[in-house]
Structure 1
Amino acid sequence: MQTSKRLDQALQKLYTAFHNNTLNPECCKQCAVGNICDNTDSWKHLSDGHGSLQLNYVGRVHETLGRRFNGYTPLELLQIEAEFLKGCGYTLPLHHKNARPKHPTSKTTLFKGLSAAIVFLCTLDGIHNVMDPTQLLDFTPERKPQAEAAS
C-alpha cells in the first residue's frame, strides 16, 4: 500500500510515542498532534481550546497563507487531535467539567485514541485504514449464499 510522506512520518512518530510511553492526551507536547509536530506546543496557538475544531485568528491566518505543519494544514491538525481525544473518551473541548477517561494514559485508552486518529489520517490521504487487518492480510471475508442468509 502506497502512503504519503506526511502519513508515514505521522504514523512513525505516533507509533514511537505509544511504545515509548510518551503519549499523553492532556499535554499539548505529548498528545497526537504534539507528537506529529515534533513534541512542540506551537500548534496549540491555532485555536482557543485543546480539542476545539475552530481556528482562532492566528489559525485562520496560517490557513489562509497555506501554511503546513509537517504536511498538515492548521484545520487538519485540529481535526486529527479531536479524533484522537474523542477516541480516548474525552468530551470536547477539553475542560475540567467535561467527561474524560478514568485512566487517560492507559495503553487501552491510548490505543483507542490512536486507532481513531489513524483512521482519520488515512481518510485525509484517501487511502484505506492501514490498521485494518483485512488490508494487511489481503483477506476478504466470505459471503454466505443468498439461500443460507435467508434461513
Structure 2
Amino acid sequence: MKTPKRLEQALIKLYNAFHNDELNPECCSACAVGNILDNHDSWKHLSNDHGSLTLSYVGRVHETLGRKFNGYSPLELLQIERIFLQACGFTVPLCHYNTKPENPRNKEILFNGLCAVVAYLCELDGIANVMDYSKIFEFENENPVYKFDVIYD
C-alpha cells in the first residue's frame, strides 16, 4: 500500500523535529502540529485553548469551508495536538495550573507522544500503524514469517 503524501510529509517532519531536538509540546510552532505545519503557529487560532477540541470562530469557518492545512482539517489538527499532549503527560487544555510532566522535552516523553500521533495519523489515512513492529515477531509452525538478512561488521 502506498503511503499518502500528507502522512509521509508529516512523518518526515516529526522524525526530523524529534532527532534535531526541535520538538517542544509547549510551543505552538514546535509541537506536533507546529512541525507538521512547517513551524508556523497560526494554527493556534483554530481553537481558543491549546489542547482543546473546540474550534474557535476562525476554526469553525475554516472547517465549514473545507480548508486543509498540509492535508489536515482544523479538527484533525486539534485532535493530533491533543493526542500528542496527552501522550506526553499533559492535562489538556494547557493551563498553568494543570498537570504537566516534570521535563516535557525529555526524549522518552516526546517519543511516547510521537508514537501516539503516528498511530492516529495512520488511522486517519486508513493504513496500518507504521510504528507497529509486532509483525517482525510473527511466526507460523515455529518459524518466523519474515526473514531478515543479518549483516555483521
Is this a same-fold pair by TM over 0.5?
yes
Task: Give, in whole Å, the separation in 2 of the partners of 1:77 and 1:56.
Answer: 13
Task: Give, in whole Å, the separation in 2 of the partners of 1:115 and 1:69.
Answer: 22
Structure 1 residue aligned with 2:148: none
One-letter code aligned to 2:138: T
Deviation at 1:134, TM superposition (A): 2.5
Task: Give, in whole Å, the separation in 2 of the partners of 1:126 and 1:102.
Answer: 35
1:57 aligns with 2:57: yes
Task: Give, in whole Å, the separation in 1 of the partners of 2:103 and 2:2.
Answer: 35
Task: Give, in whole Å, the separation in 2 of the partners of 1:45 and 1:107.
Answer: 28
Alignment of 1:68-147 (within 5 A): 68-135=68-135, 137=136, 139-140=137-138
Task: Give, in whole Å, the separation in 1 of the partners of 2:33 and 2:140.
Answer: 38
Deviation at 1:62, TM superposition (A): 0.2
One-letter code aligned to 2:73: T
Structure 1 residue aligned with 2:19: 19
Deviation at 1:3, TM superposition (A): 1.2
Q: CA 1:86–1:141 in 2, change beyond 3 Å: closer, same or farther? A: farther
Task: Give, in whole Å, the separation in 2 of the partners of 1:102 and 1:110.
Answer: 13
Deviation at 1:142, TM superposition (A): 6.1
Aligned length: 142
Q: CA RMSD in A?
A: 1.5
Alignment of 1:29-40 (within 5 A): 29-40=29-40
The structure that is helix-richer by fraction is 1
Please identify runs of 4+ aligned residues in structure 1 that moved more than 6 A.
none
- For structure 2, the 5+ residue unaligned runs are 142-153
One-letter code aligned to 1:7: L
Structure 2 residue aligned with 1:146: none
Structure 2 residue aligned with 1:149: none
Task: Give, in whole Å, the separation in 2 of the partners of 1:54 and 1:3.
Answer: 29
Secondary structure of 1:7 counterpart = helix
Deviation at 1:141, TM superposition (A): 5.3
Identity of aligned residues (%): 66
One-letter code aligned to 2:26: E
Task: Give, in whole Å, the separation in 2 of the partners of 1:93 and 1:117.
Answer: 17
Task: Give, in whole Å, the separation in 2 of the partners of 1:15 and 1:104.
Answer: 17
Normalising by structure 2, what TM-score? 0.89
Deviation at 1:2, TM superposition (A): 2.1
